[in-house]
Structure 1
């Protein structure tokens, strides 16, 4: 299931029309999968009526992720992006 989901994220990113920096592109599908897993975990433990907190979190967090992906290509973000990519590589064991 994980590989299928990651491939799905890879396809979405390829078709989204947003320029994703080359150093981040190979890692982003995995990062989005981790994000999805975090949301699922939150949903599982969310005791609010009809998981209302999860819905709000998903709404806000998705906007944040989309904005961060768009901003990641800006030259000013390069040093931060390099640190993020390195952190991802360490976490993945690359």
Structure 2
């Protein structure tokens, strides 16, 4: 395999050349935090035949990823409720 040849193991792998750990490009939101860092970047990874989702500083199984996403959805809904309260409070 040449240094610039694409991965032949996983079609989503963005690594080139010889490699044993596979990683996709990051999926990033359209927003950054106050330090300019992406909020919740995530990517697919594979090592030793196991495919997992890398995000929140950890490697997650698909089931754990879905569980954490559900937690985040609940939290985002709560934040949206705060915005609604703030809108009502701002009205004279």
TM-score, normalised to structure 2, is 0.33
Structure that is richer in helix per residue: 1
Larger Rg: 2
Higher share of residues assigned strand: 2
